[in-house]
Structure 1
Amino acid sequence: MGSMSNRTTCPYCGVGCGVSATTDSQRVIAVSGDSEHPANRGRLCVKGSALHETTGPEERLLAPRVDGREYGWNIALDTLATRLEAIIHRHGPESVAMYLSGQLLTEDYYVANKLMKGFIGSAHVDTNSRLCMSSTVVGYKRAFGGDLQPCSYEDIDQAELMVLVGSNAAWNHPILYQRMVAAKAANPDRRVVLIDPRRTATADLADLHLALKPGSDALIFNAILAALAQRGALDEAFINAHTEGFDAALESAQATAGDLAEVARQADVPLADLEQLVDWFCTTERALTFFSQGVNQSSSGSDKVNSIINCHLATGRLGRPGMGPFSLTGQPNAMGGREVGGLANQLAAHMDFSQPEFIDRVGRFWQAPNMAQQEGYKAVQLFEAIERGEIKALWIMATNPLVSLPDTNRVRRALEKCELVIVSECMAHTDTLELADIVLPASGWSEKNGTVTNSERRISRQRGLVPPPGEAKHDWWIICELAKRMGYREAFDYTSPADIFREHARLSGFENNRSRGFDISALAELSDEGYDALKPIQWPVNEQAPEGTPRLFADGHFFTPSGRARLLPVTPQAPKQQPDSEYPLLVNSGRIRDQWHTMTRTGRAARLLQHHAEPFIEIHPTDAERFGVEHLQLAELHNDLGHYRGRIRISDQQRPGEVFIPMHWTRQFTQQGCSGSLFAPVVDPFSGQPESKQGRAALRPLQMRWEARLLVRKPLAIEGHWWTRVPLSHCTSYRLADSTPVANWRDWCEALTGTPSLWLEDLSNGRYRAAGISNQRLEWILLVEPNQELPDLDWLDEQFSREIDLDTRRQLLAAKAPGDQATGAMICSCFQVREPAILAAIAEGADSAQALGEQLKCGTNCGSCLPELKELIKVHAITDKSA
């Protein structure tokens, strides 16, 4: 392949890292960071560096299915067109809906939006970006007149104050976080503040951590705005020349947060810490405020975003280097999807349904026969309409709403009731796929060809490097082939993603005249060769900036009717889901370091499940004592919506009265580990974004009579026990537990796996081991341990790849490899460095993360484990002193 053809873009978070991939004829065999991509400068996080471990035809969806039977594409698409047309004929176009994903490429998104809103005539097209970034969209649009993120990654290098709000960037945007670390190291006087209820790994970088009461973010920023006025730190000239609404915004801030002592009390933070934050913000011009899901996933997320933006507008701190309100996007193409109207209240090219001229303009450009005239249902509303029977057909593409939406049990009921569920998916097994009537196999990363837009508005190419397996097809092709069958051939007669991109670029400039900030019209005549070779570029890209520009609002021009930015009055609101006597704990959910969304891809890489291999409940020590749970014990959170089971992790980094659970686990990987089952479908009234950071639940310990590890060559369907599944290189590992004792382990093994070939019973100590061996090959091994001590899984996994001799049989029953075993928590996933090795190095004199990196390589790739390395050094040093 040529020098450009192997460069692509990572499909995970919104950082948008460039990837260099090495391929053979069928699959990606190695990846590294693209040193020429400005987003990451050659670095990759652990998820990105494991991309080649999650590709290939294994566990992929390979053929279309209709009503459970496999068919060719012609029959599948003909059937889909016939059923959709029948539903539209009976119930009207608004009985049909689409639910899309930030995993789609911009070209996929564009044709989906065009087909539904312009030709079928339904605006019920929403996306899982509703769950992560839609409150930011509202905040930016209200303030700037468009969904316009004003900052660039280069601002990190120039900022003098970095404030992170509701963002665990160390785990969720690790490459950006490492850029922050480098900036801090280059200038130790640069200050970093973390505003987050939890003391996350990101706190390792912070000079100040405000562990605020959940939901009180707007109160903090109202206090800053009031203090800016009180201390004479406003930019009066900027306010007067370029903004409107300042007086009302300030009046609201003074009324709700004018007394710092009262704000500190309500937000439950030390007054001295709040005063320090206010002082730094008032006196530091180059202030950069990062915010993410902790702000967005709230019933008042839009107002929280505007409370942050208000502080930057009041000081004129945007449109210049090193400053601005910077939304860290959750998904690789959440911004690209918004550019083409992927949300139900949007139209393409940053237009929407708010003005008839927008609807008319898009309709004329598309020559659309059935242009939708009003916005459609947002995600939660959409599934409520399905449950009511109002929406009869739903097409789900590249997402797993049965896991990611709140009140997942209700979502399941809605999909079970829906007349026609179509799922376009690349993986063979997801929770949502189980309820599909028509299944369409889609191409995945390294096969898809198109563009994505990252958090700094940078468009990058995601290139098709290998062919899709089986009969999998690109999403844009599937949509266009359906459109042709529905009578819209001329409008969807694209031959490549480049065709779609050129049309998208033309629409961005159509009747624009600087009325819309999104404009890439200079790329509208890009040749196929130019599209294939397109280098990462920030928009706008138009006549004024043909090579792209990183700086919006430098000229003080905004895209509101008046041309001025708007400050909005914000009245802080408490979360809608409040703990009470029945459900006394506040539940927070989020990502963990090594996993992505619902694990359909990262769950395939064994090393990505070694840092956290199963769902957990992180709880403060006082609450652990209060609810009678112990560290690593299995427990259950429950409320009137559902249940969540996980292993207790006691941590003083969690606020008392609150627990944290990961969002990733599904029915494919565990029993009752879906975080969405605990959250009510409460949404922000402006954005429709769910309140997924503030649920409520009660906690009870699960009194398990036994726990076991079962490794099998082929995955099993396990029922009647608590279980979690972890794919390994040569087998699949299960953790099992139950509150009911097993009367006879040999009978249990025979029922589940077959008659054991060898076994060892030590029932007086609660231990049982058995293995099945066929033709000198290990088929399965069961290890029942009374104290949860588990052997080296790497060694056990390796035994599934070789013949089992007599010595190995003895070792299997002892569950112990010859020589030393690699045991202990996996700290560095990139280089597979475990805690005991790190502690040994510390004991031998390694007294810094740098020294550990030089000796063991841990922390020298993505850096995500650096906070944990530093904590181990800190704790060990304290232990030495006490000794």
Structure 2
Amino acid sequence: MDRIADPWGPRTPYGRGERWPVRVDEHVTDEADAWVPTASILHSNGDGIDVAVRDGRMVGVRGRADSRVNHGRLGPKDLFGWQANNSRDRLTTPLIRRDGELVECDWDTAMDAMVARSRQLLDEVGPSALGLYTSGQLFLEEYYTLAVIARAGLGTNHLDGNTRLCTATAAEALKESFGCDGQPGSYTDVDHTDVLLLVGHNVAATQVTLWARMLDRLAGPHPPKLIVIDPRRTPPAEHADVHLAPRSGTNVALLNAILHELIARDAVDRAFVDARTVGFEQMAEIVAPCTPEWAAEICGVEASAIRAAADILAGHDRILSTCLQGVYQSHQATAAGVQVNNINLLRGALGRPGAGVLQMNGQPTAENTRECGANGDLPAFRNWANDDHVAELAELWKVDVATIPHFGPPTHAMQIFRYAEQGSIRWLWITATNPAVSLPDLARIRRILAREDLFVVVQDLFLTETAEFADVVLPAGTWGEKEGTFTNADRTVHHSDKAVEPPGQARGDLDIMLDYARRMDFRDRDGAPLIKWHDAESAFRAWQACSAGRPCDYTGLSYEKLRAGGETQWPCNERYPDGRERLYDEGDFWAAADIAETYGKDLLTGVDVEESDYRAFNPEGRAMFKGAEYLPPADAPDDEFPLRLNTGRSLYHFHTRTKTGRAPELAAAAPDVWVEVSADDARAYGVGEGDVVDVISARGRVRAPVRVTGIREGVVFIPFHYGYWDAPDRDDRAANELTITAWDACSKQPIFKTSACRLERVA
């Protein structure tokens, strides 16, 4: 079948409580000598995959029928994206900047330059001059190694991942409601649920096989009701019983109205709320004036549609709620994510088959970035403000407590780049990400990366737009070329075997990190090497020791077990030897002050809650209702810029297309950027399907052809994937030329979806 034209494939309907049928998808270009097990890293679903190898080269993939995640199905990015590994323009030799140009060099020259500059800055300025910016696409072992290098080796607080752009709000919303990160739900909840509530989550594009699972439930007996909140008329919206298309930036108003209606109908699971939660009365007081009519005026939706959604939610207690970038990258992001959690808490829809929350990830290994402390947290969901948690890490790593920076929260990505802009960060190690296309306000980001006083190291597969600014470029091996583990959005841990060798002199990311640590000669307090592991499996064992007793406990796992038994959800330990499918099914929350990952934040201001206030609010460590008043978004439309920009993803591409743009089928399916406008806006601006327009904001311009779609009036949509590596003559292709430098008060996630803009017809 044509999996570009039909990305979700044929239906295999099944009923509530039944097992999702198996369907094995495959795409190979030659007969295989061997099949090597792994999982997808081109989305957060974690689809089980076998890689076909012939003569030391990848020649195809097939879905794994025994995968609990995808039951053999693969989406277009799974089926075709592996071809990027074989691309002829892979980086195969280190590069160093000489006389303004990047030239080839050997590994010693590249690593010596990187080490010499970091040592010089440590001696002359101190750890605050060093920053690290990583990815959501590496392996667990690499993130943990990077976290130890940053926190205990360099002693810098400036480490974050591009998960800050993608899933930081998921983590923050879970922490605010449950005291700790970790997805409560499981993908198998789709098999049991009576209501699917998709909030800002175009699952059809972002997790293709998960949408196929939902489609098969919808096609079977006893289908679930489907509520979709999205300003675009996406494929899920086409199937929805209720589609709510709010104005950009008004999620909190809409969700508050739904909560208002549920409370007004007394659709509250009082036994659950009284026994397992705190904060209900405060939340109820905030939403009391938020009637559907009030929200309809703000959001631009019908009050009757809000009531229809509330009718469905009030009539069922097996509700599976999901969120993604329509929440996380928009105004009041954390506040909105928490209100979705509030809906499930209010209905008692948690910890049972079909009843749960998936604050989804956008990247394949974003969960590991957060677990391992390679983002704005400490490893194993430890609380930077809890001295005992910091002391645990110091003892584990055998360093003094003062070595680990904990004078304030770890520095988030947007602040890292601001410090680089101000000149206080002067060395930046960027691994497996492309901020010159993915960060907001790209003209500003290019100016920062080009600063003469900023030494930039880029570790990647290709000479990306970011690598063009580097002082040192390190060629990396990737998925299929190295061994490791990674964890998907429902806590399923995968083992990924090495199928082929990296090209040329490229090295696996872990090998590069260990080499840097050796050359820096990091030592513990006893004089022994700080990093005591030497390969992926020994790094995994070190991580197990770090995770022991924490919510994300991996002590019951091993490479041997993962190879033999396949995928397993954490926590996996003596109590849950086969993993735990759903969190909080026993009424146990990781919210007690001594355990919690955070003491929380004020949802409007982002100000940290003091430990004493947290203990007073939640003395028994229960789940927490937290309300938030709606605030209008900044960068409001005006006469000059009357429209709202909404950025997002294409089904056929991942991030900045460094991989998917090099897969022929995917590149042909979506070769260039486009602009979606409503029929009403098309008429108002005198444009039609295929006309070329400029979308202009106060920061830049994007030129692209128009698609007239079912998007709501007043909103334009541009996919953010398109940079300049394959269009060097363009300077008007990246959506983030337009976006604003602003972030959510709590999660610090950039706000990509509410920038004011205007439309001008070109041709």
Paired with 1:229 and 1:467, the residues of 2 have a C-alpha distance of: 59
Contact 2:250 2:331 in 1 (8 A): no
Cα deviation, residue 78, structure 1: 2.1
Indicate whether 1:49 and 2:56 are aligned: no
Letter in 1 for 2:533: Y
Indicate whether 1:603 and 2:661 are aligned: yes
Counterpart of 1:105 (choices 139, 148, 155) is 139
Structure 1 runs (4+) deviating above 4 angstroms are 1-5, 528-534
**Structure 2 spans left out of the alignment, 5+ residues:** 1-30, 524-528, 593-619
Superposition pairs of residues 241-640 of structure 1, within 5 angstroms: 241-255=275-289, 257=290, 259-344=291-376, 346-368=377-399, 370-373=403-406, 374-417=408-451, 418-427=453-462, 429-488=463-522, 490-509=529-548, 512=549, 516-523=550-557, 526=558, 529-530=560-561, 532-533=563-564, 535-561=566-592, 562-640=620-698
Cα deviation, residue 11, structure 1: 1.0
Paired with 2:235 and 2:565, the residues of 1 have a C-alpha distance of: 36
Contact 1:582 1:698 in 2 (8 A): yes
Partner of 1:714 in structure 2?
none
Cα deviation, residue 532, structure 1: 4.8
Paired with 1:351 and 1:25, the residues of 2 have a C-alpha distance of: 45
Partner of 1:656 in structure 2?
713
**Structure 1 spans left out of the alignment, 5+ residues:** 704-883
Q: Deviations over 1:814-871 (max 9, x none)?
A: xxxxxxxxxxxxxxxxxxxxxxxxxxxxxxxxxxxxxxxxxxxxxxxxxxxxxxxxxx
Partner of 2:739 in structure 1?
679
**547 and 642 in structure 1: CA distance in 2 versus 1, 3 angstrom threshold:** same
Contact 1:57 1:469 in 2 (8 A): no
Contact 2:257 2:306 in 1 (8 A): no
Cα deviation, residue 542, structure 1: 1.2
Counterpart of 1:30 (choices 54, 60, 63) is 60
Paired with 1:195 and 1:136, the residues of 2 have a C-alpha distance of: 17
Paired with 1:22 and 1:5, the residues of 2 have a C-alpha distance of: 5
Q: Deviations over 1:131-164 (max 9, x none)?
A: 1111111110111111021100110011001111
Contact 1:62 1:441 in 2 (8 A): yes
Cα deviation, residue 531, structure 1: 5.6
Paired with 1:644 and 1:363, the residues of 2 have a C-alpha distance of: 49
Indicate whether 1:14 and 2:44 are aligned: yes
Cα deviation, residue 623, structure 1: 1.9
Paired with 2:276 and 2:244, the residues of 1 have a C-alpha distance of: 32
Cα deviation, residue 633, structure 1: 1.9
**551 and 40 in structure 1: CA distance in 2 versus 1, 3 angstrom threshold:** same
Counterpart of 1:669 (choices 723, 726, 729) is 726
Paired with 1:182 and 1:631, the residues of 2 have a C-alpha distance of: 33
Paired with 2:33 and 2:199, the residues of 1 have a C-alpha distance of: 40
Q: Deviations over 1:214-253 (max 9, x none)?
A: 2222222222222222222211111111111111011111
Paired with 1:699 and 1:204, the residues of 2 have a C-alpha distance of: 27
Paired with 2:81 and 2:646, the residues of 1 have a C-alpha distance of: 28
Partner of 2:176 in structure 1?
142
- Taking CA–CA contacts closer than 8 Å with sequence separation of 6 or more, which of the two structures ends up with the larger relative contact order? 2
Partner of 1:129 in structure 2?
163
Paired with 2:405 and 2:153, the residues of 1 have a C-alpha distance of: 8
**531 and 206 in structure 1: CA distance in 2 versus 1, 3 angstrom threshold:** closer
Contact 2:494 2:562 in 1 (8 A): no
Does the residue aligned with 1:8 lie in a helix, a strand or coil?
Answer: strand
Paired with 2:516 and 2:206, the residues of 1 have a C-alpha distance of: 37
Paired with 1:688 and 1:508, the residues of 2 have a C-alpha distance of: 25
Contact 1:244 1:565 in 2 (8 A): yes
Counterpart of 1:61 (choices 78, 81, 91) is 91
Letter in 2 for 1:607: E
Contact 1:31 1:51 in 2 (8 A): no
Does the residue aligned with 2:330 lie in a helix, a strand or coil?
Answer: coil
Cα deviation, residue 669, structure 1: 3.0
Letter in 1 for 2:662: R
Does the residue aligned with 2:556 lie in a helix, a strand or coil?
Answer: helix
Letter in 1 for 2:261: A
Does the residue aligned with 2:682 lie in a helix, a strand or coil?
Answer: helix
Cα deviation, residue 587, structure 1: 0.6
Q: Deviations over 1:156-212 (max 9, x none)?
A: 011001111111111111100010011111235521111111111222321221112
Contact 2:82 2:663 in 1 (8 A): no
Partner of 1:89 in structure 2?
123
Contact 1:507 1:521 in 2 (8 A): no
Paired with 1:13 and 1:456, the residues of 2 have a C-alpha distance of: 13
Does the residue aligned with 2:742 lie in a helix, a strand or coil?
Answer: coil
Paired with 2:410 and 2:622, the residues of 1 have a C-alpha distance of: 29
Does the residue aligned with 2:153 lie in a helix, a strand or coil?
Answer: helix
Does the residue aligned with 1:492 lie in a helix, a strand or coil?
Answer: coil
Contact 1:15 1:173 in 2 (8 A): yes
Does the residue aligned with 2:62 lie in a helix, a strand or coil?
Answer: strand
Partner of 1:824 in structure 2?
none
Deviates more, 1:279-288 or 1:694-703: 694-703
Does the residue aligned with 1:521 lie in a helix, a strand or coil?
Answer: coil
Partner of 1:860 in structure 2?
none
Letter in 2 for 1:187: P
Cα deviation, residue 480, structure 1: 1.2
Cα deviation, residue 533, structure 1: 4.3
Paired with 2:231 and 2:135, the residues of 1 have a C-alpha distance of: 29
Partner of 1:781 in structure 2?
none
**265 and 477 in structure 1: CA distance in 2 versus 1, 3 angstrom threshold:** same
Deviates more, 1:310-319 or 1:214-223: 214-223
The share of aligned pairs that are identical, in percent, is 33
Contact 1:5 1:463 in 2 (8 A): no
Letter in 2 for 1:492: I
Count how many residue pairs are aligned between Structure 1 and Structure 2. 690
Which structure has the larger Rg? 1
Does the residue aligned with 1:55 lie in a helix, a strand or coil?
Answer: helix
Contact 1:340 1:349 in 2 (8 A): yes
**529 and 307 in structure 1: CA distance in 2 versus 1, 3 angstrom threshold:** closer
Cα deviation, residue 375, structure 1: 2.6
Paired with 1:470 and 1:549, the residues of 2 have a C-alpha distance of: 42
**57 and 622 in structure 1: CA distance in 2 versus 1, 3 angstrom threshold:** closer
Paired with 2:162 and 2:50, the residues of 1 have a C-alpha distance of: 28
**435 and 498 in structure 1: CA distance in 2 versus 1, 3 angstrom threshold:** same
Cα deviation, residue 40, structure 1: 0.5
- Alignment RMSD: 1.7
Cα deviation, residue 100, structure 1: 0.4
Paired with 2:266 and 2:631, the residues of 1 have a C-alpha distance of: 28
If the length of structure 2 is used for normalisation, what is the TM-score? 0.88
